[in-house]
Chains A and B, each alone.
Chain A
Amino acid sequence: MDREKARRRVGHESIETRHLRERGELFQALKSLDRRSFMKVSAAAFGAAAAQGLLPPHSFQPVSVAHAASPTGTPDTPKFTFAYISDSHLYDRNLNDRFVNQLMRAVDDINAMDPQPDFVLYGGDLAQLGKPVELELGAQILKNIKAPRRMMVGEHDWYFDMGEKWRELFGEPRYSFDHKGVHFVVLNSVIEKDFWTERKMTALERMMTVAGLDNGIQSRFTVGDEQREWLKKDLEKVGKGVPLIVFSHSPLYKLYKAWNFWTDDAEQVQAILGKYKDVTVIHGHTHQLLTNRIGNISFHGMLSTAWPWPYAPEGMPKLTIQMGRPDPFNPHDGIGDGSVQVHADGLVDKIYNLWNRNPVTVTRQYLASNGAKDKPAAPLLASY
């Protein structure tokens, strides 16, 4: 090869030239490989390149590896995929541009997906203090998403005007729909008992109280009697064998009460969902990788685009493999977006697209085997 000759002649090549050469060779080799070999070659090339110090670890992510094949090696094409963005906590653009930019990055991520997802779920907490200016800014940014969009409400969107602006922009917070044989339910799981009237709080004081994760004055999240009745009715028309996917902002189980990583009537909601064959709950609020399974219900958290929360000091679900400890010096670490691959059997693979880290897939095999198979890689640095 000419380049080989040129290299011998010069005697050395710069890091940049070597990087480009190796990258070119890698992609050339990849064209002639099937998916399984692709994984090996890709991993080997990445390892080799990283070992030589040629690449910062985040510059070359074998993103397609996670999507390309199941861990068993069998071709494993999902029936459909939907993407998610969650917990952007927007302030007014003039006050805080960082959270705005991060949401825009997520929108770019989703728009770059090929093939495009069937729809995009927004997981709640679009605003930080539920103000009209924040929600309108969010709505404006989310309009740039090419795929159809489904909205869910979070407590930060709600407690300034009790959801008035949010409903004006996005409609009712609870609804259901069917998509390719799966029944989807979206809940408003952030209903709190009135703690503000007695304390004579202003709308902003109420919002600030709920906005504080560790604020003990607020009440606990619930789905509520009225909505549980609605859920029962909604599910009556759904066959027991139909897969269910439920979106709720808070986790629909009890993890850690002090931070509202918690739904107070979780057991009652689980009892309603437990009658169905395969149920998946996708929730926001916790800003981290979070995996749980209770009976036939699988639970997955969503990443935030704003900041990561620490893991709860107690009550962690056994199945959760924590995400790597975020680097505070990197404002895009520990956050991101992701997607959910829904398979023919109604079970899902949950993909956490951590910015600046390799994506993590929590597979349906991992959950179905109760953690015995296909365990995601443990983080290098656990949380303190």
Chain B
Amino acid sequence: MFASKASLTSLLLLALGTAALANCGGGAGGKSAEAPSATTGTAAESAPGAGMEVLLCDGQTKTVVPPGTSGTAIAGDLMTQWLRKNPNSSWEAEERERHTLEPSADNDDLVGRVNGQTYGSITHQDVALWKTETERVALAGSSVFHDAGALGSTDGVSCDMCHPHAANTHPETYPKFQPQLGRVALLRDMINWCIEHPVRGKAFDSDDPKLRALEAYILAQRKGKTLNYGKH
């Protein structure tokens, strides 16, 4: 479920790019089994004779069209196919509607400024991308946080049952000495403690995408709080 959670918006942008057939030459289409993403290349190959095969940036979805077909029509066809294969593609909008998320920082003031390093000049698209991608990780965390199944719970308990909107998680107070554990705990240690005890599940590895997403959501929900590690 995690790997398939791609952004509908960025896919649409890519599909339109594909339709223009200008940006599609570089990628080695067809190799990647991963979900479409903004960095995966796309490819279009001419089939001998009849039509032209156009491959979506997921490397799997394809359509065969006669030369001269409009880009919009190609994109529309590819997207329809992709949406059929990915019925949960609107999960982000749904998650936002169900459980409000604190917005990530607004970087609009950086637009048009040159920093000379990664970005020649920061554009509106850049800041939009940062926001979308960042909030997506937090939204994924929100969906795990509210889902006993995704947490691997064996007793029906999910995080939100004690922490609505991630209240009372106080990530800004970690790391701190947790007397009940007899050692210093990071936020992730406490998440895993909850998963093992009230949730009665199995602790996540520290690089598990679900744990990373949970951390992202909890931190997002405490936006604006002053960091104060060690605070009891």
- A72 surroundings in chain B (CB, below 8 A): none
> How many angstroms from the CA of A213 to the CA of B164 in the assembled complex?
6
Contact with A along B207-232 (1 / 0, CB 8 A): 00000000000000000000000001
Name the prevailing secondary structure of the A interface residues. Answer: loop
* Total interface residues in chain A, CB < 8 Å: 26
> How many angstroms from the CA of A103 to the CA of B160 in the assembled complex?
21
Q: Which residue of B lies closest to A213 (CB)?
A: B164
Which of B100, B155, B164, B198 lies in contact with A309, CB distance below 8 A?
Answer: B164
Question: B155 near A259 (CB under 8 angstroms)?
Answer: no
Q: Which B residues contact A (CB, under 8 angstroms)?
A: 97-100, 146, 154-157, 160-165, 167-168, 170, 173, 180, 193-194, 197-198, 232
Question: B163 near A310 (CB under 8 angstroms)?
Answer: yes
> How many angstroms from the CA of A212 to the CA of B145 in the assembled complex?
11
> How many angstroms from the CA of A214 to the CA of B159 in the assembled complex?
11
Known contacts A96-B156, A128-B156, A212-B160, A328 near B194 by CB under 8 Å = yes
Contact with B along A214-242 (1 / 0, CB 8 A): 11110000000000000000000000000
| A313 located at the interface, meaning its Cβ lies under 8 Å from any Cβ of chain B in the complex | yes
Question: A307 near B160 (CB under 8 angstroms)?
Answer: no
> How many angstroms from the CA of A307 to the CA of B198 in the assembled complex?
10
Q: Which A residues contact B (CB, under 8 angstroms)?
A: 91, 95-96, 98, 128, 209, 212-217, 258-259, 307-310, 313, 327-329, 331, 381, 383-384
Known contacts A214-B165, A308-B162, A98 near B155 by CB under 8 Å = yes
Q: What total count of A-B pairs have CB within 8 Å?
A: 64
Name the prevailing secondary structure of the B interface residues. Answer: loop
Q: Which residue of A lies closest to B99 (CB)?
A: A214
> How many angstroms from the CA of A216 to the CA of B160 in the assembled complex?
13
Question: B156 near A313 (CB under 8 angstroms)?
Answer: no
Question: A307 near B170 (CB under 8 angstroms)?
Answer: no
Q: Please, could you name 20 A-B residue pairs with CB atoms under 8 Å apart, sorted by A?
A: A95-B155, A213-B164, A214-B100, A214-B146, A214-B160, A215-B99, A216-B97, A216-B100, A258-B164, A258-B165, A307-B198, A310-B164, A310-B168, A313-B167, A328-B193, A329-B180, A329-B197, A331-B198, A381-B232, A383-B168
